[in-house]
Amino acid sequence: MDDVQVAVVGADPAGLLIALGLARAGIEVLVLDTGRDDIASANCAHDWSVLPGLDRLGILDDALRSGFADPRWCLFVLRTGERIDFDLGAALRGVTPFPFTLHLEHSRLCGILEHHLAREATASVERDVRVTGLVQDATGVDLGIGTADGARRVRVRWVVGADGTSSTVRRLLGLGFPGYTWPERSVVALVEADFAALGYASTTLQVDDRHGAVVQKVNDRRWRYTFAEPLTRHEEGSGVRIPRVLSAVLGEAPFRIVDWHAARMHERSAERYRLGRVLLAGDAAHVTNRMIGHSPTSAFFDAFRLIEALTAVLAERAPESVLDAYAEDRRRMFHQHVSPIGAARKHLVSQISDAERLETELESYRRTSVDTDELRDVLLLNSELEDRELVPPSAR
C-alpha cells in the first residue's frame, strides 16, 4: 500500500493543471492515465479569461512561446460577406495584462504541463494504467488500478476524477450524468488553407444556418474548422462530407484536410461534484456543446478553484466544507451560465434561419463591436465563469 495525498485520474488539461497546482504547493500527487489519444484537430484556442490562471501556475510564458497571441476575433456572415470585428486589446485595456486569445494546440499545451510537472519532486505520472475500482472510508480511498502487469491498489487521501466525459470515477461513485444529447454531432477538421486571405480573423464565428462554423487559426499553415451535422447522417460519411462543406465555403481556394474527428455533443452535468473524498472536475463533471469551446474553458476554471480549495484543506488552513463550496459553485455555474451561454452562441452561429431574427442579433453585435464599454461587459461574462474565490488570500 502506498500513501499518497492526492490521486488525479486523467492526464489531459484539467487533470494536469490540477496536479501541477497541487505539486507546486508541495502536495504529493499521483496522476494516472490510460494513455491519451493525441488528436491533432483537438482544441487550439484558449480564451483570455483563463490566461491569468495559467500565468499563476507559471506556464503562460512557455505557452506564448509555443503558440501565438491574437486580440482579434470576428463574426463573418457567410451569405452577405459582412464581417463584424472585435478587438480585445482595446476593450480589456486595464482589465488584464493578457487581452488576447492564446492559440496553442492541445497536444502542445499538455506537453508544456507535463514538462513542468516532471520538475516537481512531489508529482509522479503513470501512463497506460486504468482506474477500475474505488472504495472510500473516513480517512482515505483505496483505488483499484489495472496495468499491463496485473491489478494493484493504492491508498490515497483524496481523489480527483478528471477523466473526461465517460468518467470511470463518476461511474464508480454511482453518480448519474443527467442532461441531453444534441441532435447533431460536432465535426472538426484540421485544414491547410489560406483562410486569412479570405478575410477570416484568427478566431471567426462563421454565421450561417447551413454552413455555420467556428474557424480558428492553429499556425501559419493550419486552421481548425468546426461545424455541426445532424445525427441522422451516418458518422462514417463525415469524412466524405468535409471536402464538400469546405468547397461550398472556400469556393476555388485550395485546401488539404490533415486530420478530422467527429463526436456527439452533450449538455450534461454530474448530480454532485463531491462525494466524500472524491471530487470531479472538467468534462468528468460537466460537458457542453463542442462548437463554442466552453467545456475546455470551464475545465480550466474548475482546475484553478480546486487547486485553491484542496491546497488549503490539505494544509489545514481551511475546513473541508470549502470542497463542498467548490462542488456547489462549479455545478451552479455550469447550469446557470456555462451551458446557456454556450447554447446561445451555438444558436447564433448555425441555427438562426429567420432573417429578421438574425438581423436583430447581428445589430446587437454591430453595436457591441464599436462600443468599447459594451464589448468589455460581454467579454467579462467569460471571466465571471471562474466565479468567486473559495479561500481568502490569507489562508492560501
Ligand X SMILES: Cc1cc2nc3c(=O)[nH]c(=O)nc-3n(C[C@H](O)[C@H](O)[C@H](O)COP(=O)(O)OP(=O)(O)OC[C@H]3O[C@@H](n4cnc5c(N)ncnc54)[C@H](O)[C@@H]3O)c2cc1C
Collapsing DSSP to helix, strand or coil, 392 comes out as coil
**Helices in the chain by DSSP H: which ranges?**
13-24, 51-56, 60-66, 88-91, 106-118, 168-172, 238-250, 294-314, 321-333, 339-350, 355-370, 372-384
- Taking phi over 0 as left and psi of -120 to 50 as alpha, with beta for the rest, 53 belongs to alpha
DSSP 47-64: -GGGHHHHHHTT-HHHHH
Cβ closer to ligand X: 280 or 318?
A: 280
Q: Taking the complex as a whole, how short is the minimal distance between the CB of residue 15 and ligand X, in angstroms?
A: 6
Residue 75: all three cell numbers together:
463574426
Contact yes or no for 72/166 (Cβ under 8 A): no
How many helices (H) and strands (E) are present in the chain, helices listed first? 12, 19
| Short-list 105, 99, 89, 103, CA closest to 49 | 99
Cβ closer to ligand X: 288 or 311?
A: 288
Q: Taking the complex as a whole, how short is the minimal distance between the CB of residue 41 and ligand X, in angstroms?
A: 7
Q: Taking the complex as a whole, how short is the minimal distance between the CB of residue 341 and ligand X, in angstroms?
A: 13
Cβ closer to ligand X: 6 or 358?
A: 6
Q: Which residues pair with 19 in a beta bridge?
A: none
**Dihedral of the alpha carbons of 189, 165, 309, 139, in degrees to the nearest 10:** -150
Positions that interact with ligand X (CB under 6 A): 9-15, 32-34, 36, 39, 42-43, 130-131, 162-165, 168, 186, 188, 226, 261, 263, 282-284, 290, 293, 295-296, 299
Whole-number Å distance between alpha carbons of 146 and 130 = 5
Cβ closer to ligand X: 124 or 165?
A: 165
Cβ closer to ligand X: 123 or 375?
A: 123
Ranked by CB distance to ligand X, the top (closest) residue is 282
CA distances from 9 to 111, 156, 300 (A): 17, 12, 16
Contact yes or no for 136/277 (Cβ under 8 A): yes
Q: Taking the complex as a whole, how short is the minimal distance between the CB of residue 132 and ligand X, in angstroms?
A: 7
Cβ closer to ligand X: 163 or 308?
A: 163
Q: Taking the complex as a whole, how short is the minimal distance between the CB of residue 297 and ligand X, in angstroms?
A: 8
Q: Taking the complex as a whole, how short is the minimal distance between the CB of residue 319 and ligand X, in angstroms?
A: 27
Q: Taking the complex as a whole, how short is the minimal distance between the CB of residue 39 and ligand X, in angstroms?
A: 5
Q: Taking the complex as a whole, how short is the minimal distance between the CB of residue 261 and ligand X, in angstroms?
A: 6
Q: Taking the complex as a whole, how short is the minimal distance between the CB of residue 218 and ligand X, in angstroms?
A: 13
The H or E element containing residue 206 is: strand 203-207
Cβ closer to ligand X: 42 or 64?
A: 42
Cβ closer to ligand X: 223 or 369?
A: 223
Residue 130: all three cell numbers together:
486504468
Cβ closer to ligand X: 99 or 164?
A: 164
Which amino acid, residue 247?
S
